[in-house]
C-alpha cells in the first residue's frame, strides 16, 4: 500500500531564516513562501531530487502547528507524508488493522491539492504520518 515518501514537514519559528539555510547553505531549490490559510500555515517548498521538504510556519490565530512550536521553540520535524494510490482504500485497510485516523476520518484536500489524512502518532512509533493520494 505505502508508496513514495512525498515530503517531510519541518515546523520552523523563522521561515525566512529556514529558507535561507536550505537555499544558501545547502544549495537547495526553494519556493517563495506560500500562505495556505485553509491549513493555517505558510509553507516554503524545498525540492530535492527524490522528495520534498516543507518548511511550515504558523499562519493566523488557530494554526495547527502553533502548539508544536510552543513545545519545540527551535522547530522540529512535524510530520512525514507517504503516498498511497487510493486514499479511501488505504484508510479502510489501516482502520481495519486498528490504526486511528485523525479528525472525522474523511480525507481533506492538502497543500498539494490532493486528498490527505493523518494517522495517530501513537499508532506510528511516535511520528505524525500523513498519507496523500498521489
Given candidates 30, 69, 81, 87, which one binds Co ion under the rule CB under 5 A?
A: 81
Asked whether the beta carbons of 97 and 126 are under 8 A apart, the reply is: no
CA distances from 78 to 24, 61, 88 (A): 23, 19, 24
Determine whether 130 is an active site residue. Answer: yes
Decide if residue 46 touches Co ion (CB under 5 A).
Answer: no
Q: How far is the CB of 15 from Co ion (least distance, A)?
A: 16
Beta bridge partners of 132: 83, 116
For residue 84, give the H/E element and its range. Answer: strand 76-84
Q: How far is the CB of 8 from Co ion (least distance, A)?
A: 8
Q: Which range in 17-25, 28-36, 101-109, 124-132 contacts Co ion by CB under 5 A?
A: 124-132
Residue nearer to Co ion on the CB measure, 41 or 94: 41
Cα–Cα nearest to 42, from 61, 55, 31: 55
Q: How far is the CB of 78 from Co ion (least distance, A)?
A: 8
Residues touching Co ion: how many (CB under 5 A)?
A: 3
Decide if residue 9 touches Co ion (CB under 5 A).
Answer: yes
Asked whether the beta carbons of 130 and 78 are under 8 A apart, the reply is: no
List of residues contacting Co ion (CB under 5 A): 9, 81, 130
Amino acid at each position: 500500500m505505502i508508496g513514495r515518501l512525498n515530503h517531510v514537514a519541518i515546523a520552523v519559528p523563522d521561515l525566512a531564516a529556514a529558507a535561507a539555510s536550505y537555499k544558501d547553505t545547502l544549495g537547495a531549490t526553494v519556493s517563495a513562501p506560500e500562505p495556505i490559510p485553509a491549513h493555517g500555515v505558510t509553507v516554503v517548498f524545498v525540492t530535492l531530487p527524490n522528495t520534498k521538504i516543507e518548511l511550515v510556519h504558523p499562519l493566523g490565530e488557530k494554526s495547527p502547528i502553533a502548539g508544536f512550536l510552543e513545545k519545540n521553540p527551535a522547530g522540529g520535524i512535524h510530520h512525514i507524508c507517504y503516498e498511497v494510490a487510493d486514499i479511501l482504500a488505504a484508510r479502510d485497510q489501516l482502520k481495519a488493522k486498528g490504526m486511528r485516523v485523525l479528525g472525522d476520518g474523511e480525507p481533506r484536500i492538502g497543500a498539494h491539492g490532493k486528498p490527505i489524512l493523518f494517522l495517530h502518532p501513537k499508532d506510528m512509533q511516535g511520528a505524525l504520518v500523513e498519507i496523500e493520494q498521489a
